[in-house]
Amino acid sequence: GCCCGGGSWLSTHHISFAGCGFMGIYYIGATSCILERFPRFIQDASKIYGASAGALTAAVLTLGIPLVLCKIHFWNLINPWKHRLGPLHPSFNLLQRVQDTVLNHLPEDAHVRASGKLGVSLTRVSDVKNVLVSEFDSREELIQVYFTVWHPFTQPYLSIQHYVDGAVTDNLPGYHLKQTITFSPYAGESDICPQASTLNFHKVHFNNISIQLNSENLYRVTSTFFPPEPEAMAEICHNGYKDALRFLQENSKGIDSDC
């Protein structure tokens, strides 16, 4: 929850990105706005958490990878769904696409930069418990974590125990910490998210994320698994920018006046 009563919240704040599949394009818009207008928000964060697609955004920001690569990644993932067989089409290789667009651009010391600051939500298969990974012994280990996030059938991560996507058990890691600023592409109670259509609304909680029950969110949830046309994806990205800008404007005390 947001605790932005002036500039003091900046001293020890954390950031968390909810898992959201193809709706992750929303984060490209939101974070590009923040990096453009108030980069300290990202640079001074104590921890940057993420689940599923949100973990990719968290890594990109933690490691300083250009956002354009993340945007290309999402566009590359959209194309296979246009085939009749979608992700079952013979030409589709999820891991290869993730590696080509993002993982190959990890700096050699990525694991050093990520350790202690990046937090990735994983689910341990043996007992279906959530594990928040924030220490990485090597660049290869960091890459293995992201193979686990993006594909449930990879080789076991780090040990004989098998891990899968953390969204299954905690889709908004670190949300309970007092000074965590939360991002979500679904209208609800997150700090940076689409505005709710009404003040009094019904909502559901899914693995720590609040989602308003309305037709707009139904469309967004559907788009999580089945990406809309490129024009609609571009609009989702633009909406992320606008929602982040609104957040900065509403919490502008202690923030540069040009926000």
The residues annotated with a catalytic role in the active site are: 52, 165
Rg of the Cα atoms in the chain = 17
Q: Which two tokens stand for residue 194?
A: 């689409």
Q: How many other CB atoms sit within 10 Å of the CB of residue 132?
A: 15
Query: How far, in Å, CA of 86 to CA of 41, rounded?
Result: 38
Neighbours of 71 (CB within 10 A): 18
Q: Rounded to whole angstroms, what are the CA distances from 54 to 15, 149, 232?
A: 11, 10, 20
Q: Environment class of residue 162 by beta-carbon count within 10 Å: exposed (0-12), middle (13-18) or buried (19+)?
A: middle
